[in-house]
Amino acid sequence: MRDLVYALRIFRRNPGFTVVAVVTLALGMGANTAIFSVVNAVLLRPLPFPEGERLVTFLLQRPQGARALSMADLLDIRAQQQMFSRVAGYTVGRLNLSGGEQAREVRAAHVTGEFFDVIRTALLMGRTFQPGDEGVAGQPPVVLHEGLWRRLGADPNILGRAIRLNGVDNPVVGVMPASCRFPTRDVELWLLLPSTPPARRGPFFLRGLARLKPEATLEQARTQMSSITPGLRAGLPTEVQTLSYPVVPLSEAVVGEVKTFLLLLLGAVGLVLLIAMANVANLLLARSWARRGEIAVRFALGAGRGHLVRQFLAESILLALAGGLLGLAVSSWGIELVRAAGPGNVPRLAEARLDGRVLAFTAILSALSGILFGLTPAWQSASRLSEATRESGQRAAAGSRRRLGDALVIAEFALAFVLVCGAGLLVRSLLLLEAESPGFQPRNILTLRIAPAGPAYQQPRQIADFYRRLLDRVRAVPGVEAAAIANTLPPDLLSLSENFTVDIRPWPPGETPPIVPLPIVSPDYFRTLGVPLRGRSFSETDTGARGVAIISQTLAETYFGDRDPIGRRIKQGGPERPGLPWLEIVGVAGDVKYEGLDKQPKAVYYQPHSQIAMGSMYLAARAAVRPEALAAALRAEVRALDPEVVVSDTWTMEELLFRSVAQPRFRTVLLGAFAGLGLLLAAIGVFGVIHYSVLRRTREIGVRVALGAGPAAVTRLVVGGGLRLALAGLIIGLGVAIGLNKVLSGLLFGVGTTDPWTYAGVSILLLGAAALASYLPARRAARIDPIEALRQE
């Protein structure tokens, strides 16, 4: 306590030193606390389900990648497995909710009857699905989320009443609490999906969900799933027999690819904290030089090495605790910034907060930091007690402190180089990604999602007639140059994929072609989006009686080679679906990216909406004016046709492109912010060391000036010292960065982890920062009066 009280008096007498040290530590610890709170919420906090660690999920794994299950897969797995107490399937979609003042879309989870038995979340009221519910034909029951229930008026007598979904009255049997947010955080209701055995293996649209039995382990479940899948593959084509159904803990599936980046980010803020600690260690070294007289007096009065080390450690730990407390305030602000910058698809990001685990992390981090950055200066200051009263000993101690301070600055710049290089690679990757051509002209295009549903749209003819009339009205709106509908929009609003067969290349028995995007579009689609087209577009006369298709340039080059594909034939589905009609290829369209800007263009084939009439579609309109100005007019045209039709997701095409890179932008902004902080702290470290060096070398500089050295020569001397430290740090950091940046390989687009332009640019940036930080004390050195300098002791 006596040491702590004395440390407080020391800090009170040196407010400048105290503020700089505490703020430096607060920045480092606040960044670590903020990111740890996100890691805690996303990765460490258990799922909000009873025994959530026993929940697993599975998909169908094929050579081309993971895909959804079919109902046949789910029923076979349920019948043959022995490791799960319950097995369910689910898929997520959107439904029209009508019957109120205005129809709206709701996010719905279509789930099999065992779903709630798997997750075991307690209801707010009512019940979940029961076996008898599957016998209700055409009106499956629904369970509401508490949020939707309250938006509908929070009627306590809603159980047994019906809500209208896609024109069908569905009875409400239960209400789940607001805390239940699965399978998506914006789910608003759960609709029973009957487990009816299908007539064929497809379609594939489900994700499997199961709960392990109390005595079963994850490895046992994986082993059994691998042993029963051959039975599921029996009778299927040879290529399909390579399928598997890997079992993954639900906690891992929820996190997905975010885990890698969060761990990377946690490592990055750890480097920031190390830089901050090195800075404070240098400050303590400078303070110990200023306190050499006090140390000598203490030694003369009988103080031992252990006592002085304890005193210095008390000061450093007190600084660290103060930095940790201030860091909590910084982290609270940082958490809000991270949430605001989040792209919306980071799971459980909204749950990040300062809880007991995060507070314990900050307390432990503060104590360890205080010991780490305080131990070396304390030991170094106390190690020369026997020389403390002699001038030669003081010179030796000063030289030792200078070497240690230089080493700390070199380490800071090495760490900063690693951080800024990683951020630089992400910045360069993001710039290349945003500059990537999507394959069409995105300017002046407005898009809306249209969802007609109900008895008036049960037949394909009714749906086709609605969209035909809508497009006629939209084209008549002033300012609209072209309009079209599509079930899929670039760059990543993909809703349907299928395989295909071409007449020029029959697939060998047992081999199925790859699954590729299948956009369903109206005739003016290619002109509206500005997609280059060879041949002709679709027309209103292209009906089911005369099937036609348009293929992409990649499909033409890959499967037709040098032959002209126009006039050849293609059909939906592989060899296992021989009954589907052949389609005449009437055009070849330019490659458009439907799976994201970071993906290579894939083979795509288009079919006209007149042949495959689909309900929910996107409306795209090319405008002669600002596209936002057309939004109200286009919504009014939809309401004029049918006020029950839901219009949602009104975006310009440029906004869709911007949103499609939200995840890489989020990564780049966060890592870039921490890299900038690390660079700032490293520059401050150089400033501190050079400033201390100028103070220590005042007599030497005075002698140089007295002997004829001009201000320019003195400035070069001082700045050169700072640049030498920075250059040494860059050389060390280069080797470390080349090794560590390999973890970024999966996050980069169009740039390698050893991109020379990035490394060269970062080197110039860091050397410039070091030169600027050194220039400020260099100016002071250049103005030293040699007479005054020679009078100093």
Domain ranges of the chain: 1-51+268-389, 60-245, 393-435+662-793, 453-644
Location of structure tokens 């400020």? 776
Q: Which residue has the higher pLDDT, 571 or 6?
A: 571
Least confident of 198-207, 252-261, 728-737: 198-207
**Pair 209, 57: CB distance under 8 Å:** yes
Q: What is the pLDDT at residue 511?
A: 64
Location of structure tokens 């973890």? 743
Band of residue 611 on the pLDDT scale cut at 50, 70, 90: confident
Segment (H or E) for 109: strand 104-111
DSSP 641-680: H-TTSEEEEEEEHHHHHHHHTHHHHHHHHHHHHHHHHHHH
Least confident of 17-31, 516-530, 539-553, 654-668: 539-553
Q: What is the pLDDT at residue 302?
A: 62
Give the highest mean pLDDT range of 145-149, 302-306, 405-409: 145-149
pLDDT mean over 87-92: 93
Task: For residues 314 and 326, give the distance between their C-alpha atoms in angstroms, rounded to a whole number.
Answer: 18
Residue 318 confidence (pLDDT) above 50: yes
Location of structure tokens 């080349």? 738
Residue 306 confidence (pLDDT) above 80: no
Least confident of 288-292, 419-423, 621-625: 288-292
Q: What is the pLDDT at residue 576?
A: 59
Band of residue 400 on the pLDDT scale cut at 50, 70, 90: low
pLDDT mean over 719-727: 87
Q: What is the pLDDT at residue 545?
A: 63
Write out pLDDT tens, residues 456-492: 888 888 999 999 999 999 999 999 999 999 999 999 8
Q: What is the residue-averaged pLDDT of the chain? A: 85
Q: Which residue has the higher pLDDT, 308 or 73?
A: 73
Band of residue 531 on the pLDDT scale cut at 50, 70, 90: very high
- Distances in Å between the alpha carbon of 788 and those of 391, 426, 618, 776? 21, 52, 80, 20
DSSP 244: B
Q: What is the pLDDT at residue 705?
A: 75
Task: For residues 704 and 694, give the distance between their C-alpha atoms in angstroms, rounded to a whole number.
Answer: 13
Segment (H or E) for 58: strand 55-58
Band of residue 382 on the pLDDT scale cut at 50, 70, 90: low
Q: What is the pLDDT at residue 100?
A: 63
Residue 544 confidence (pLDDT) above 70: no
Location of structure tokens 């030289």? 399
Task: For residues 145 and 179, give the distance between their C-alpha atoms in angstroms, rounded to a whole number.
Answer: 9
Question: Is the previous residue joined to 203 through a cis bond, with omega within 30 degrees of 0?
Answer: yes
Q: What is the pLDDT at residue 388?
A: 47
Q: What is the pLDDT at residue 707?
A: 75
Band of residue 655 on the pLDDT scale cut at 50, 70, 90: very high
- What is the reported pTM? 0.83
Q: At what angle do helices 391-435 and 711-740 cross, to 10 degrees?
A: 60
Task: For residues 634 and 733, give the distance between their C-alpha atoms in angstroms, rounded to a whole number.
Answer: 56
Least confident of 228-242, 359-373, 679-693: 228-242
Residue 439 confidence (pLDDT) above 90: yes
Count of helix runs (H) and strand runs (E) in the chain: 22, 26
Task: For residues 309 and 381, give the distance between their C-alpha atoms in angstroms, rounded to a whole number.
Answer: 8
Least confident of 170-174, 322-326, 341-345, 612-616: 341-345
- Residue 312 has phi, psi (to 5 degrees) of -65, -40
Could you tell me which residues come within 8 angstroms of residue 420 by beta carbon, excluding any fewer than 6 positions away? 675, 676, 678, 679, 762, 765, 766
- Distances in Å between the alpha carbon of 584 and those of 503, 548, 612? 10, 5, 15
Q: Which two tokens mark 345?
A: 């698809």
Q: What is the pLDDT at residue 313?
A: 83
DSSP 563: S
Residue 289 confidence (pLDDT) above 70: no
Q: What is the pLDDT at residue 108?
A: 94
Question: SS3 for 606?
Answer: strand
Helix spans in 496-592 (H): 525-529, 553-560
Residue 521 confidence (pLDDT) above 50: yes
Least confident of 162-176, 369-383, 460-474: 369-383
pLDDT mean over 494-503: 84
Task: For residues 258 and 662, give the distance between their C-alpha atoms in angstroms, rounded to a whole number.
Answer: 13
Residue 392 confidence (pLDDT) above 50: no
Which residues, listed in sequence order, are joined to residue 170 by a DSSP beta bridge? 163
Neighbour-count burial for 586-602, b at 16+ CB within 10 Å, e otherwise: bbbbbbbbbbbbbeebb
Residue 90 confidence (pLDDT) above 80: yes
Residue 649 confidence (pLDDT) above 80: yes
pLDDT mean over 118-143: 87
**Pair 373, 317: CB distance under 8 Å:** no
Q: Which two tokens mark 770?
A: 């070091």
Residue 30 confidence (pLDDT) above 80: yes
Q: What is the pLDDT at residue 64?
A: 59
Task: For residues 10 and 390, give the distance between their C-alpha atoms in angstroms, rounded to a whole number.
Answer: 25
pLDDT mean over 338-363: 86
